[in-house]
A = this chain, B = another copy of it.
Amino acid sequence: MQIIRHPAEMTAWAKEQAKAGHRIGLVPTMGFFHEGHLSLMRRAGQLADFVAVSLFVNPTQFGPQEDLAAYPRNFERDCAMVEAAGVSVLFAPIAAEMYPAGFSTTVAVGAELTGQLCGASRPGHFAGVATVVCKLFNIVQPDVAVFGQKDFQQLAVIRRMTADLNLGVEIVAHPIVREADGLAMSSRNTYLLPQQRESALSLSRALALARTIAAEGERSTERLTTVLRDFIHSFPETEVDYISFVHQDTLQQVAEIDEKTVIALAVKIGGRVRLIDNGLVL
């Protein structure tokens, strides 16, 4: 496996692959890999001849009060894991080459997709995501890119940006990978103290509860939201950021559940660890 640090070198590799008629699959990540990431890489391997994984903790998608400095990192372990997953290139640029002096361009998707859910509590986050993914697509020139469905709003934003800017990259969504107890895998799970683990399960259990109640015939998202909020707050140290029922494509709030309704949750555990989860209700 090649480790590439410089954008120009990454693009040179990509152009060689294109010339040889090889398809490139990209998995953009912020590192600190878990089984969720590895499943994205394996999926990319099924869809392309060569898989490139980008590892870049992108400063512009973190807010000033967020966990950029503390975000978990372990480069050596990450290298070993992607190598074992059959990845051809690990692209790990430094911030000064991604955002050199004078950098001043922003790619932003409109408020229809970015003004609610995580966009409401993390202003600027999705512009940071759209900008860095646009750059990564131009640097790595993939035919296909695989993203996890856990970052459900991010996926909608990237699909929109890719179509709108004619980036010509096929976007593939991969299902959420969970621990045996149902917790959605996330690099941020490592922030949880042992006694907070049970509270972190409030998200996936709230999804299950919503499905059970909906299966019994409930369609009102207002009534469901009240039940779920109480349910989540019955776990210690939990604070609901949002409980939203939205259309899977438009991300617009719905009053009544149907087959296209996704429930999306964000919960802060111990005032410190913000976790998200989501899924179709029916």
Contact = CB atoms under 8 A, between A and B. Distances in A.
Contact of A105 (B11, B130, B135): B130
Interface in A166-216: 166-168
A226 interface: no
Contact of A165 (B107, B108, B160, B168): B107
A93 B107 CA distance: 23
B138 A168 contact: yes
Contacts of A167: 138
Given A166-B7, A166-B11, A166-B135, A109 B105 contact: yes
Contacts of A108: 105-106, 108
Contact of A164 (B105, B109, B166): B105
A139 interface: yes
Contacts of A103: 164
Nearest to A98: B166
A105 B138 contact: no
The contact size tier of chain A is 20 to 34
Of listed A110, A160, A165, residue having the most chain B CB within 10 A: A165
A111 to B, nearest CB: 8
Contact of A104 (B7, B105, B110): B110
Interface of A: 7, 11, 18, 102-110, 112-113, 130-131, 134-135, 138-139, 160-161, 164-168
16 contacts: A11-B166, A18-B18, A102-B160, A104-B112, A104-B113, A105-B107, A105-B108, A105-B109, A105-B110, A105-B160, A105-B164, A106-B108, A135-B164, A135-B165, A138-B165, A138-B168
